[in-house]
Amino acid sequence: MTRTVLGTAEFLKACKTANIFARESSNTARVQVSPGNEIMPGYATIAATSAETGDNIAQVDASVDGEPIEIAFNVKYMTDVLSVMDTPQVALETRTAREPGVLKPVGYDGFRHVIMPMHFGR
């Protein structure tokens, strides 16, 4: 399992921007999680593509525990759930690109949001 802890406000902002570009493609945005090393911190990249408006790529610093992963989600659903989380940080837990992800507010165990992955072609 890969656990990625991100700043809620930064992740929400990146998802809102990606949503503008993802509207043409069923609101699909790719989330690529990369663990850090001794030199660079971990990060998550949120990317969306539109034939009319172009590409959007945002990188958000993150604490990543686990393997790198690239998974596609409906970014509108991500935006909806991040908008109601009022903790400074959120955890995204993933296993594989074909299994659901779980969003949890860090420091509050009373809420979990399961989000299904979307298929993306290579």
DSSP 8-class letter at 66: S
In the chain, the DSSP E strands lie at: 2-7, 28-34, 43-50, 54-65, 69-74, 89-94, 101-105, 113-115, 117-118
How confident is the model over 6-19, as a mean pLDDT?
96
Q: Report percent pLDDT > 90 for the chain.
A: 79
Model confidence pLDDT, tens digit, residues 87-111: 999 999 999 999 999 999 999 989 9
Model confidence pLDDT, tens digit, residues 28-46: 999 999 998 888 889 999 9
CA atoms of 112 and 105, how far apart (whole Å): 8
**pLDDT at site 63:** 94
Q: Supply the CATH classification number for the domain 2-118.
A: 3.10.150.10
In the chain, domain spans:
2-118
